[in-house]
Amino acid sequence: MTQPRHVLAIDQGTTSTRAIVFDDAARPVATSQCEFEQHYPDLGWVEHDAEDIWRDTVKVAREAIERSGVGAAAIAGIGITNQRETVVVWERESGKPIHRAIVWQDRRTARLCAELKADGAEPDVRARTGLLIDPYFSATKLAWILDNVDNGRARAERGELAFGTIDSFLLWRLTGGKVHATDVTNAGRTLLYNIREQRWDEELCRLFRVPVQMLPEVHDNAHIFGMTSKDLFGVEIPLAGVAGDQQAALFGQACFEAGMAKSTYGTGCFMLLNTGSEAVASENRLLTTPAYRLDGKMTYALEGSIFVAGAAVKWLRDGIGVITHARETNDMATQVPSNHGVYMVPAFVGLGAPHWDPDARGAIFGLTLGATQAHLARAALEAVSYQTMDLARAMVSDGGEELAKLRVDGGMAANDWLCQFLADMLDAPVERPVHLETTALGAAFHAGLATGVWPDLDALAATWTQGSLFTPQMSGQTRKVLIDGWHDAVRRTLSK
């Protein structure tokens, strides 16, 4: 019998779920995608219906396999990558969630986080987790569910409830309730996992009031987690890889050496710098996070998290009707010779690194009667580049080397104007791969390593192909003026 040489990646994102079948040359063979509803029950609250996500996951996975023409039996393994920090709590007996999933963007626990920081808890939490105390992460959202669902906390303490990020919930459902597990990259975003000792931390569980018995087992990224239920795809398929979306993109970009960096532009923007076996402690409020763990050996990264990137373009389209399609921003930005002094600080859900101000809110500065829709579109794209530049500077300040180049991916990276402006702001080359869906590819890589489709990291690196290269074209003086204007706008946006 021929060894299966295809891998299915499930990429469960913030606004859509997609499935991609890759062949053993890391080429996408077939894809299916489905957007799902966002729920905003209160100011700053963001929720997803986990049942919607489950339904869409099965649908797109089946469609991708069917469209590939290779059949489910030709799938060597399934890799899962997911929106990180989003919290699901479900009944072990029925598998049903007890509350809608609380999304990583949600800010409802900002007050609790502020109280914990005021009590002096953050230095110890940061030393153990590499993270800051912020509503972005899972722990306070999990505690909120237990406190606000009838008998939630009591049921959790009796062992009746399971907690997981989206990957864990999908693993549970895909295996028919047989597997309650996650990987180090998702565990490392909960505020409950000690990334240096690589275990759930009982002290942190006590601090955040989370019963330890709710937590999943933690494994390497390339690992046979379990088998899919036969009724889903007609055959049992190994669930062989799991990684949080940003770490999956780092892996999919073949950033396997210390000093290599990538930035992913989706709903938010996330920049990761591989720091090798060292968990570098940031002095600039960047995050220290697991990048991947293979054969028990951990590789770490520094991460800068920007909460709003593509979401700002989506707001231009859906919120105020400035554009009809996101792709229009490329031409609109090109239409105007300068930004006309217009700056957008897209703090719609607070500001992430390096500011970490959950109370900041979005603002547009520099509007005059000469400002047009094109200037707003350009300001949204410029904001993404300025924020990336801030992260790169912070990484250098933390002891990282000057950025030699940056690999980019995600939907926004298809925008040529953005990539060129990004190169100008970073004063460094920007590399864009042939295939932008590197998040899904990273999940596929992990699953392929676990099932023998690829033998090692060298084989994975050999599949990476540059699509476009953008080099700096802007004068230093022009760059300085633009950056000074940006920093002034940010200062006026911060809540304190």
pLDDT band at 3 (very low <50, low <70, confident <90, very high): low
pLDDT at 50: 97
Question: Does residue 175 have a pLDDT over 60?
Answer: yes
Burial label for 278, CB within 10 Å (0-12, 13-18, 19+), is exposed
Q: Which three-class secondary structure state does DSSP give residue 141?
A: helix
pLDDT tens digits, one per residue of 248-274: 999 999 999 888 889 988 888 889 989
**Total domains in the fold of the chain:** 1
pLDDT tens digits, one per residue of 101-135: 999 989 999 999 999 999 999 999 999 999 999 99
Q: Indicate left, alpha or beta for 26 from its phi (over 0: left) and psi (-120 to 50: alpha).
A: left
pLDDT at 447: 97
259 located within any domain: no
Q: Whole-angstrom Cα distance, residue 451 to residue 6?
A: 10
Question: Does residue 380 have a pLDDT over 80?
Answer: yes
Stronger pLDDT, 438 or 143, i.e. the higher one: 143
352 within 8 A of 307, measured Cβ to Cβ: yes
Provide the CA 166 distance to its chain's centre, in angstroms.
12
Question: Does residue 403 have a pLDDT over 80?
Answer: no
Helix axes 416-426, 328-335, angle to 10 degrees: 60
Residues paired with residue 344 on neighbouring β-strands, in sequence order: 364
274 within 8 A of 263, measured Cβ to Cβ: no
Question: Does residue 86 have a pLDDT over 90?
Answer: yes
Burial label for 427, CB within 10 Å (0-12, 13-18, 19+), is middle
463 located within any domain: no
Q: Whole-angstrom Cα distance, residue 107 to residue 44?
A: 5
Q: Whole-angstrom Cα distance, residue 74 to residue 26?
A: 15
Mean pLDDT to the nearest integer, 466-485: 95
205 located within any domain: yes
Rg (CA), the chain: 22
154 contacts: CB under 8 Å, gap ≥ 6: none
pLDDT at 412: 87
pLDDT at 305: 83
Burial label for 277, CB within 10 Å (0-12, 13-18, 19+), is exposed
344 within 8 A of 302, measured Cβ to Cβ: no
333 located within any domain: no
Question: Does residue 426 have a pLDDT over 80?
Answer: yes
Provide the CA 48 distance to its chain's centre, in angstroms.
16
244 within 8 A of 82, measured Cβ to Cβ: yes
276 located within any domain: no
pLDDT band at 281 (very low <50, low <70, confident <90, very high): confident
For the chain, what is the mean pLDDT?
92
pLDDT > 90 in the chain, percent = 74
Identify the residue whose tokens are 């290599």.
Answer: 260
Q: Whole-angstrom Cα distance, residue 144 to residue 225?
A: 29
pLDDT at 131: 94
Q: Whole-angstrom Cα distance, residue 382 to residue 212?
A: 44
DSSP label of 217: E
Q: Which three-class secondary structure state does DSSP give residue 328?
A: helix
- The sign of the dihedral angle between the CA atoms of 355, 358, 360, 362 is positive
191 located within any domain: yes
381 located within any domain: no
DSSP label of 412: G
pLDDT band at 170 (very low <50, low <70, confident <90, very high): very high
21 within 8 A of 33, measured Cβ to Cβ: no
Q: Which residues span the domain enclosing 169?
A: 6-246
What is the CB neighbour count within 10 angstroms for residue 324? 8
Question: Does residue 288 have a pLDDT over 90?
Answer: yes
Question: Does residue 1 have a pLDDT over 50?
Answer: no
446 located within any domain: no
Question: Does residue 352 have a pLDDT over 70?
Answer: yes
Mean pLDDT to the nearest integer, 409-419: 90
Distances (CA, A) of 243 to 84, 189, 321, 444, 447: 9, 11, 35, 10, 10
Question: Does residue 292 have a pLDDT over 50?
Answer: yes
Mean pLDDT to the nearest integer, 277-302: 92
- The sign of the dihedral angle between the CA atoms of 72, 74, 76, 80 is negative
Question: Does residue 400 have a pLDDT over 80?
Answer: no
The CATH code of the domain that includes 54 is: 3.30.420.40
